[in-house]
Structure 1
Amino acid sequence: MTHPFAQAPSPERAARAQARAVAQDRRAARHHALALLALAAAVLALLLALPRTALAQNLFAPVIKVNDAVITGYELEQRTRFLTLLRAPGDPAKLAREQLIDDRLKMSVAKAAGITATPEQVLEGMEEFAARANMNAEQFIRALEGGGVSEQTFRAFAESGLVWREYARARFASRVSVSEAELDRAERATAGSDVRVLLSEIIMVAPPAQAAAVQARAAELSRLQGEAAFASAARQYSASPTRGRGGKLEWMPLTKLPPALRPIILGLAPGQVSAPIPLNGAVALFQMRAIEETGVTQPEYSAIEYAAYYIPGGRSPEALAKAAKVAARVDTCDDLYGVAKGQPVESLERGAKAPAEIPQDIALELAKLDDGEVSTALTRANGQTLVFLMLCGRSTELTEGLGREDLSLQLKNRRLAAYAEGFLAELRSAARITEQ
């Protein structure tokens, strides 16, 4: 506060004081600028001193090399987010890695064959995929962007699928044919059937680290001839409980098989082996031993009710012993509620689904069961969780069959997909895949 009797400074003194203040401000600004330059130099020196691996953390740096192609950290992170938003089963990060490696292999062989997709075709594919979520492409893209997934990530996903589909058609279409007899059997299978089949199976576990090798082995086994050779391979490679008897299953009505599998099975002649069939963490092969018409029509099932109780420990002796104790305690699916009481809600799943909506590996096990019977052949979480699977019941409903043209197309598409998957397994097996 200024004293009321103080004298006002002269104009000269005021000017000198103002000049001194300006000079002080300039010196302070110079010191601040010098400090910033020193800090920048120190940061630059620190970055130059860091090892190359630290600098490689840039999201756009390569993290996986597939032959001569690369996958960046950004692509891996984006595909992981994309699969998470889609609620894809399994570990999204591992699945993203597998898919991107497959995409590089697919795009490479397609490019070598001169097969590409136009921007219009890619957009059409995006529209088709978005329609599964009852959206158009623009709405689906906005939803993805809200979850941190770019439009380009979706576009690349759609393009790879389109190009691979066209490549598979060009390469394998000449090998795919459907006879009138096969169509007759398939036609009967769509709305009740009197056909039953006698099959043998090989189910090989395919964890992510071994998936390519297992697919390649499955492609070789699909060329086996004769029941003895298949039975020997089942004893050596199969993880199914049927391995001890050479993979042999009992007679089974066709309508008990998963709908997606029926055209494949009906296309087999006695003694013939199917192409590899991908399952959840496994690969399946089937051999037709016999097929016959019983004269008694089995109904088509509209819904299958089942329960899955998850036991930690995979196929360890402790987990299998616990499963055996549970099996001794329960007679119906309702009994499992008492077993799971006090445990996390996700330890027990129960519900009724249309046959086409049931995961393929579960559907295959359910086909072998009658009401109240149990299977412990499956695992989840890369083999770390044992699935105690129980069939609760089946609901029947006769439905109209598909037309012959639709059935023929369905059979051809499934066989085409099997050829393509087998070829992709060979590409994986031969590829040079390295982590950067």
Structure 2
Amino acid sequence: MQKILTPLMGPLSRVLRQWSKPVGLLATVGMLGLAPVQATSQSLFAPAIRVNQEVITRFELEQRELFLQILRFPGNPAEVARKGLIEDRLRQQVMKEAGLDIPPEDVQQGIDQFASQGNLSPEEFIQALGQAGVSEETVRDFITVQLAWRDYVSARFLSRARPTEAEIDRALGRGGGGGIQVLLSEVIIPVTPQTVDQVDEVAQQIASLKTYDDFSAAATQFSASDTRNNGGRMNWLSVSSLPPALQPIILGLNPGEITDPIALPNAVALFQMRGIQEIATGAPRYSSIEYATYFLSGGRTPETLATAGQIARYVDSCDDLYGVAKGQPESVLDRVTAKPSEIPQDIALELAKLDPGETSSALTRNNGQTLVFLMLCNRTADLAQDASREEVANALTQQRLQSFAESLLAQLKADAIIEE
């Protein structure tokens, strides 16, 4: 069986996904205008919540809430901080019984990963948080719990989480069972530093919708994708054509269900399952995909979108874009050939909808100031069809480990005595 790469789970993995939004830590601290926390010594360690025999202090709640604000974590910071600390205490109690410890070097590696996602050195990361009032100990405690929980869940459930060869084949759209196609609706909401909070709130509301009509209405109102004109409804797609990281998320949906918000570069995506079917033959897979991106300044302004529409009517192939870009800086046009797993997720998602020669103007870069005119040039068939096998196995394993972890945590919470 392939090596299983289990990422940081729970709050840490969700926080790391937030770093893909176009707001760096230093910029966020400045935007929030946060001042260091000034708590009196009398109230610093006053108990706020008791979880079984463990205490959560008011200082811990203040620190976690501030930490979440700085990271632009979705939801109400006070409520998320309270819930997260209660769950951390339950995790710590279970791991203490198991005698599980995390080496300091692993904690430092987690801090390094956090910092790199914000394009900061570990020292800059800790310093920026400290300037906003979040102590280094708060960060280390947070990461330590998530790392230890990851290891605990992996040790306890990994043998049950590994997919069979047949399940991997099914996810890849191969084997005697044929391929899997899905019928999805999508909402792709652009994000800029000025709209992060509003987009988070809207995305959470969309994720809680219950009907196809409500999701369709949300797509018409909020989505930047061309499918908004059809209520967000996409055509049948092979699961294997979707970005590898998205495949297990989609396969985990039942008809009518909606994904949690998924952070993309300069956007947030949500998908609703409308249908799923198995076809007689497996869908083709590709060793490489060639595509072109032509960058237009102005973002999603009516004028820039109109220009993109004119270009779409003019070009029939990626070669035609060289004529469009003639006389402009080389940086405005980029033609790429890459493995599917190497393509940015938002671009891969748009390419999955296109045939060679078709275009999309749903994406942006540069914090929404640059419109991406995307064109699919060609797909090269993967004759061996083994390139993504380990990646799909890892994704399926991670999804199942996350499910086991959530079920265990729910049981621990149900059995706990929690007092405010």
What band does the TM-score fall into relative to the shorter chain? 0.5 to 0.7
Matched, 1:412 2:400: yes
**Structure 2 CA distance for partners of 1:189 and 1:305, relative to 1, 3 Å:** same
Where 1:225 maps in the other structure, the secondary structure is coil
Matched, 1:399 2:386: yes
- Contact 2:102-2:148 at 8 Å conserved across structures: no
- Contact 1:110-1:167 at 8 Å conserved across structures: no
Unaligned regions of 5+ residues in structure 1, if any? 1-58, 70-95, 132-142, 172-177, 420-436
**Structure 2 CA distance for partners of 1:191 and 1:214, relative to 1, 3 Å:** same
Alignment of 1:270-309 (within 5 A): 270-309=255-294
**Alignment match, 2:185:** 200
Alignment of 1:364-379 (within 5 A): 364-379=349-364
**Alignment match, 2:206:** 221
Match among 314, 320, 334 for residue 329 of structure 1 = 314
What is the CA-CA distance between 1:378 and the residue it aligns to? 1.1
Q: Following the alignment from structure 2 to structure 1, what is the Cα–Cα distance between the partners of residues 164 and 199?
A: 30
What is the CA-CA distance between 1:248 and the residue it aligns to? 0.5
Q: Following the alignment from structure 2 to structure 1, what is the Cα–Cα distance between the partners of residues 373 and 285?
A: 26
**Alignment match, 1:265:** 250
Where 1:221 maps in the other structure, the secondary structure is helix
What is the CA-CA distance between 1:332 and the residue it aligns to? 1.6
Where 1:295 maps in the other structure, the secondary structure is coil
Q: Following the alignment from structure 2 to structure 1, what is the Cα–Cα distance between the partners of residues 140 and 344?
A: 23
Larger displacement relative to structure 2 (236-245 or 390-399)? 236-245
Match among 124, 137, 144 for residue 106 of structure 2 = 124
Query: Deviation digits for residues 148-183 of structure 1, max 9, x if unmatched?
Result: 858878988777555456679999xxxxxx999999
**Structure 2 CA distance for partners of 1:101 and 1:283, relative to 1, 3 Å:** closer
Q: Following the alignment from structure 1 to structure 2, what is the Cα–Cα distance between the partners of residues 266 and 274?
A: 11
Pairs aligned (count): 317
Q: Following the alignment from structure 2 to structure 1, what is the Cα–Cα distance between the partners of residues 243 and 345?
A: 7
Query: Deviation digits for residues 102-159 of structure 1, max 9, x if unmatched?
Result: 599888865564478999544214447879xxxxxxxxxxx959xx858878988777
Q: Following the alignment from structure 2 to structure 1, what is the Cα–Cα distance between the partners of residues 223 and 251?
A: 23
Q: Following the alignment from structure 1 to structure 2, what is the Cα–Cα distance between the partners of residues 342 and 418?
A: 55
Larger displacement relative to structure 2 (262-271 or 102-111)? 102-111
Where 1:264 maps in the other structure, the secondary structure is helix
- Contact 1:66-1:101 at 8 Å conserved across structures: no
- Contact 1:107-1:164 at 8 Å conserved across structures: no
**Alignment match, 1:64:** 34
**Alignment match, 1:380:** 365
**Structure 2 CA distance for partners of 1:348 and 1:108, relative to 1, 3 Å:** farther
- Contact 1:186-1:407 at 8 Å conserved across structures: no
Larger displacement relative to structure 2 (364-373 or 223-232)? 223-232
- Contact 2:286-2:380 at 8 Å conserved across structures: yes
**Alignment match, 1:210:** 195
- Contact 1:206-1:214 at 8 Å conserved across structures: yes
Q: Following the alignment from structure 1 to structure 2, what is the Cα–Cα distance between the partners of residues 386 and 404?
A: 31
Give the partner amino acid of 1:399.
D
What is the CA-CA distance between 1:277 and the residue it aligns to? 1.1
Give the partner amino acid of 2:179.
D
- Contact 1:306-1:351 at 8 Å conserved across structures: yes
Q: TM-score normalised to the size of structure 1?
A: 0.60
Where 2:279 maps in the other structure, the secondary structure is strand
**Structure 2 CA distance for partners of 1:416 and 1:385, relative to 1, 3 Å:** farther
Alignment of 1:25-40 (within 5 A): none
Q: TM-score normalised to the size of structure 2?
A: 0.62
- Contact 1:380-1:386 at 8 Å conserved across structures: yes
- Contact 1:314-1:384 at 8 Å conserved across structures: yes
Where 2:240 maps in the other structure, the secondary structure is helix
Give the partner amino acid of 2:212.
E
Matched, 1:341 2:326: yes
Q: Following the alignment from structure 2 to structure 1, what is the Cα–Cα distance between the partners of residues 330 and 109?
A: 37
Q: Following the alignment from structure 2 to structure 1, what is the Cα–Cα distance between the partners of residues 406 and 346?
A: 16
Larger displacement relative to structure 2 (197-206 or 113-122)? 113-122
Q: Following the alignment from structure 1 to structure 2, what is the Cα–Cα distance between the partners of residues 327 and 418?
A: 46
What is the CA-CA distance between 1:328 and the residue it aligns to? 2.8
Larger displacement relative to structure 2 (348-357 or 399-408)? 399-408
What is the CA-CA distance between 1:289 and the residue it aligns to? 0.8
Larger displacement relative to structure 2 (227-236 or 390-399)? 227-236
- Contact 1:277-1:418 at 8 Å conserved across structures: no
Q: Following the alignment from structure 2 to structure 1, what is the Cα–Cα distance between the partners of residues 262 and 105?
A: 30
Q: CA RMSD in A?
A: 4.6
Q: Following the alignment from structure 2 to structure 1, what is the Cα–Cα distance between the partners of residues 250 and 190?
A: 21
